[in-house]
Amino acid sequence: MRTTRACAFILLAATAPAAPAASSPVVVHHEARLIFDLDRHEVRVIDVVSAAPAWPDSFTLNPRLGGQARRDEAAAGILATFGGDAGADSASRAPERRAWPGEEAAPTRVRFELAGTFHESTEGVVFSRENVGREISATIGEEGIYLAADAHWLPSFQDALVTTRLTIDTPAGWEPVTNGVRVSREERDGRLVTVWEEAKPVDGIALVAQRFHVTEEQFGDVAISVWLLQDDAPLAAKYLERTRAYLALYGRMIGPYPFGKFATVENWFPTGYGFPSWTLLGGAVMRLPFIPYTSFGHEIAHNWWGNSVYVADEGGNWCEGLTSYCADYHYKAQESPAAARDYRRGLLKDYQAYVSDPARDLPLREFRARHSGATRAIGYGKSAMVFHMVERSLGSGRFEQALRDVYAAKRFARASWDDFFAAFAAVSGRDFTSFGDQWLARAGAPLLTLEGAAVRGDRVEIRLAQDAPAYELDVPIVVTTAKGTVDTTVRLAGLRETFEIVAPEARAVEVDPDCHLFRRLHPQEIEPTISQVLGAPALLFVLPDATGAELSAAEAFARGMVEGETPLIAGGGAPPADAPAGAKVLCNPASGALAERLALLPQGQLTVSGDLAFLAGRRFSLRENDLVFAAPDPRDPAVTDLIVLCRSAARLPGLASRVGHYGKYSYLVLPAARGEVVKGNWPAAGGPLTWRLDADR
């Protein structure tokens, strides 16, 4: 996943001609030498910059960098001087605008000679599936070197793409990774000097360095590698195997891999970033057993969508939804139709959980980046469902051909939603204008209701309705008959329409049972899930009636769940009588509070007796496993609470970062030792999109 951050910077204006239109972006080349001093938290930079076909009219530079810019070809005449402010607050520093002194036109090449210190603390950094918490932009020290693209540690030019040749000078034993391929590596005089070159125009430069254990091999024309903080040959082998598989998969699906390398790099603080030709994953996340088969493929897919076909500045970010569809959803579709259906249903449940408040909603054309559960449910989930509805309309062959056409036309350029819809129209000969308008320009989702169904001889008459304003929908209908099922699709364009379907000996009607449409689910269609609690606007944490280590662990768990915010806490093991309405997280609750919630679960699903849990026919020791489950609130069964049972004060705080990965589930059994997480869902009650016809016969 790619992220953007607010970063204070210095903005300088040149008197050069304006940059060409976004369809023909300026490409800026950096020929830079970087020398790192870990003790002083400093980097010295000599960067010779050139631009083609013309200079952009402005660029940005981090206010912590001081030095000079001069004409490179003349080596005389200072064009600009930068003060550099080691104490600058990069979150609040206002931009400054300067003109090239005494220049009527920008120079052909500019030589920047800069130095600055960066030392942001990595303590408290939070990165999770649900929210983007505290992140950092740049730090240099014994704990590691990290320079984000939006830290502006080299001069960066708005709307320009960049190519690079970076000579990186670090202490011996410190291996850097950045854009491009490593073309040389030499140790001398206690220093390591490596040269990295990226000739393809990309939209940002990031860099990390650490004492890595590096495993490398060649896969066709691509150098693939794994960079770990601790030597772990099996883990490296697993990521190399997955890298080969994903590069082959997306080469067939979309087109040739666009870069000369792919590196999987472990970070010492939590991240989940995809950069051009490499990914930076926090060590804890990297070792989760499912990550190589899910999120890791998502990051590799970003090298096609987002890191080589870029998101246009206007019209919304299509990239996250398409990457999710080509990666996370595609893996489920390969697994089985049932797994694919459950994934789609999970997207609808997430939307219902996180975007229940219309104030949190926004059209896809306004989505730029994820910063909350709501923006993820829209920009990733709704967007992926739009691509799914298009694929169902076109068929997989024409859909993938359209993706290949966009990739071929827009590689190393910016693309918009409109480019994709033009490609869909080209492969099908159909007009997608109204489809695009209703799914991209409108917030919200349709709510369908099956108002009635009746047998009419060998036909079934169904009355289908939707809330205003109406969408144009191709609604899947499944009729169960005495001899099997009849699957069909009806076109619903108004608020209420009646349809007839030929289905002899019909027994039942279901509307969109496999969740092929992006729509709002009815409450009866949704079982209690963890995401309903995570998506609540405010959470009350009910801590155990305990003292000492157990209470401290529960407090740490609550802080971890809210990711840097201050949690609302009550003690005593049960919600107080005057507790505010809304979702609650009960951490090792009192027996009475636990029993009230267990009683509201579907019969026979879960029993807890002392240190034993009996779940869906299986027995688990709560000394060896932690149990997390969602259950209705006894005061308001429409509200979902989360119950956490953990017998270990040492394990409890760490559960906070794990639960968010499983939001679509009703329950989790997390082994204390290594082992598979047991997860699943309570059965849903049903809903108003199913109609039994037995009484009509």
Residue 128 has pLDDT above 70, yes or no: no
Task: Give the pLDDT score at 134.
Answer: 63
| Residue spans of alpha helices (H) in 223-364 | 233-253, 283-286, 295-301, 319-324, 330-335, 337-354
The amino acid occupying position 72 is: D
Residue range(s) in the chain whose domain bears CATH number 1.10.390.10: 309-441
- DSSP 3-state of 617: coil
Residue 674 has pLDDT above 80, yes or no: no
Task: Give the pLDDT score at 77.
Answer: 64
Task: Give the pLDDT score at 76.
Answer: 57
Mean pLDDT, range 637-656, rounded to an integer: 93
Model pLDDT for residues 298-308, shown as the tens digit of each residue: 999 999 999 99
CA dist list (Å): 612 to 588, 622, 655, 667: 14, 6, 19, 15
Neighbour tally for 269: CB within 10 Å: 21
- DSSP 3-state of 457: coil
- DSSP 3-state of 555: helix
Architecture of domain 530-680: 2-Layer Sandwich (3.30)
Strand partners, 484: 481
Nearest to 207 by CA among 222, 224, 191, 227: 227
Nearest to 518 by CA among 397, 680, 364, 684: 364
Q: How far is Cα 578 from Cα 563, in angstroms, rounded to an integer?
A: 26
Residue range(s) in the chain whose domain bears CATH number 2.60.40.1730: 10-211
Residue 687 has pLDDT above 70, yes or no: yes
Radius of gyration of the chain, Cα coordinates, nearest whole angstrom: 28
The amino acid occupying position 654 is: G
Q: Which residue has the tokens 């469902």?
A: 385
What pLDDT band is residue 86 in, cutting at 50, 70 and 90? low
Nearest to 205 by CA among 141, 273, 269, 140: 273
Strand partners, 219: 222
Which segment of 355-359, 374-378, 473-477, 540-544 scores lowest on mean pLDDT? Answer: 355-359
Task: Give the pLDDT score at 695.
Answer: 53
Mean pLDDT, range 672-685, rounded to an integer: 86
What pLDDT band is residue 159 in, cutting at 50, 70 and 90? confident
Max Cα–Cα distance, the chain, nearest Å = 95
The pair of structure tokens assigned to 326 is 């080509």
In whole angstroms, what separates CA 286 from the centre of its chain?
15
Nearest to 65 by CA among 167, 160, 177, 147: 147
The pair of structure tokens assigned to 373 is 């559960």
Task: Give the pLDDT score at 389.
Answer: 98
What pLDDT band is residue 71 in, cutting at 50, 70 and 90? confident
Residue 613 has pLDDT above 50, yes or no: yes
Q: How far is Cα 628 from Cα 645, in angstroms, rounded to an integer?
A: 6
Return the higher-pLDDT residue of 535 and 244: 244
Mean pLDDT, range 591-613, rounded to an integer: 93
| End-to-end alpha carbon distance in the chain | 54
Residue 126 has pLDDT above 70, yes or no: no
Mean residue pLDDT of the chain comes to 89
What pLDDT band is residue 75 in, cutting at 50, 70 and 90? low
Query: Do 344 and 385 touch, CB atoms closer than 8 A?
Result: yes
- DSSP 3-state of 48: strand
Which segment of 87-96, 525-534, 543-552 scores lowest on mean pLDDT? Answer: 87-96
Residue 59 has pLDDT above 70, yes or no: yes
Q: How far is Cα 537 from Cα 582, in angstroms, rounded to an integer?
A: 9
What pLDDT band is residue 2 in, cutting at 50, 70 and 90? very low
Task: Give the pLDDT score at 614.
Answer: 95
CATH fold of the domain at 448-526+688-696: Immunoglobulin-like (2.60.40)
The pair of structure tokens assigned to 249 is 């998969």
Residue 106 has pLDDT above 80, yes or no: no
Q: How far is Cα 305 from Cα 319, in angstroms, rounded to an integer?
A: 6
Which segment of 1-10, 211-220, 376-385 scores lowest on mean pLDDT? Answer: 1-10
Q: Which residue has the tokens 């159909």?
A: 430
Residue 338 has pLDDT above 50, yes or no: yes
What pLDDT band is residue 52 in, cutting at 50, 70 and 90? confident
What pLDDT band is residue 564 in, cutting at 50, 70 and 90? low
- Strands 413-415, 309-311: pairing kind: parallel
Task: Give the pLDDT score at 85.
Answer: 72
For the chain, give the percent of residues with pLDDT over 90: 73
Query: Do 150 and 5 touch, CB atoms closer than 8 A?
Result: yes
Domain spanning 10-211: which superfamily? tricorn interacting facor f3 domain (2.60.40.1730)
Strand partners, 478: 487, 510
In sequence order, the 6+-apart residues with CB closer than 8 A to the CB of 334 are: none
Backbone angles phi, psi at 506, to 5 degrees: -70, 145
Task: Give the pLDDT score at 697.
Answer: 43
Residue 91 has pLDDT above 60, yes or no: no
Q: How far is Cα 341 from Cα 343, in angstroms, rounded to an integer?
A: 5
Q: What is the CATH number of domain 309-441?
A: 1.10.390.10
Residue 448 has pLDDT above 50, yes or no: yes
Mean pLDDT, range 76-88, rounded to an integer: 67
Mind spelling out the 3-state secondary structure of 486-502? EEEEEEECCCEEEEEEE
Return the higher-pLDDT residue of 32 and 55: 32
Instruction: Write b or e for each residue in 604-623: b if 16 or more Cβ atoms lie within 10 A of its Cβ, otherwise e.
Output: ebbebeeeebebeeeebebe
In sequence order, the 6+-apart residues with CB closer than 8 A to the CB of 62 are: 7, 8, 9, 10, 90, 116, 118, 138, 151, 152, 153
Model pLDDT for residues 541-559, shown as the tens digit of each residue: 999 998 899 999 999 999 9
Residue 442 has pLDDT above 90, yes or no: yes
Return the higher-pLDDT residue of 647 and 18: 647
Residue 96 has pLDDT above 60, yes or no: no
Q: How far is Cα 232 from Cα 239, in angstroms, rounded to an integer?
A: 11
Residue 393 has pLDDT above 90, yes or no: yes
Mean pLDDT, range 530-544, rounded to an integer: 89
